């Protein structure tokens, strides 16, 4: 996906995103994002404000297709309202992710924990 970069460059990039979105990341979230950026697994399109995350564990579908990345952008009011109808916070996050990425909940249920954690961390920029 993207080229690998050194820790210093990744930390600087994440700091820039934090300033752009005016958010403060907790240390664990920040470290998760920095490591993924160092590994070349995150690309940020500053103009469109869209993050592309390469999954560590691709999702293989029954039809033979494979989902290898997710694109995340700031949710709109409708997406937030629909996600708020969930029975708990976890389902709310999955509903929101489904709405933003266009992938059904059943597909996103197959996300591995590390990919889901990273995705949640990136969502923090839009909080």
Give pLDDT tens digits for 20-60. Answer: 999 999 999 999 999 999 999 999 999 999 999 999 999 99
29: containing domain: 7-126
pLDDT tier at 3, thresholds 50, 70, 90: confident
**Nearby residues of 117 by Cβ (< 8 Å), 6 or more positions away:** 32
Give the C-alpha separation, 90 to 13, whole Å. Answer: 28
pLDDT tens-digit profile of 9-22? Answer: 999 999 999 999 99
Tokens of 104: 């059904």
Q: Count H helices and E strands in the chain, helices first.
A: 6, 3
DSSP 42: E
On whether residue 1 sits in a domain, the answer given is no
The answer to whether position 116 is within a domain reads: yes
Count structural domains, the chain.
1
Query: Is 2 a member of any domain?
Result: no
pTM: 0.92
């Amino acid at each position: 996906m993207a080229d690998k970069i050194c820790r210093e460059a990744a930390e600087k990039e994440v700091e820039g995103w934090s300033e752009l979105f005016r958010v403060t990341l907790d240390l664990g979230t920040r470290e998760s994002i920095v490591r993924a950026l160092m590994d070349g697994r995150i690309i940020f399109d500053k103009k469109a404000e869209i993050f592309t995350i390469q999954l560590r564990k691709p999702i293989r579908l029954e039809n033979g297709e494979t989902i290898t990345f997710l694109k995340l952008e700031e949710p709109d009011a409708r997406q937030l309202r629909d996600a708020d109808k969930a029975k708990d916070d976890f389902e709310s996050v999955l509903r929101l992710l489904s709405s933003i990425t266009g992938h059904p909940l059943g597909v996103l249920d197959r996300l591995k924990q590390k990919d889901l954690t990273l995705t949640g961390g990136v969502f923090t920029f839009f909080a």
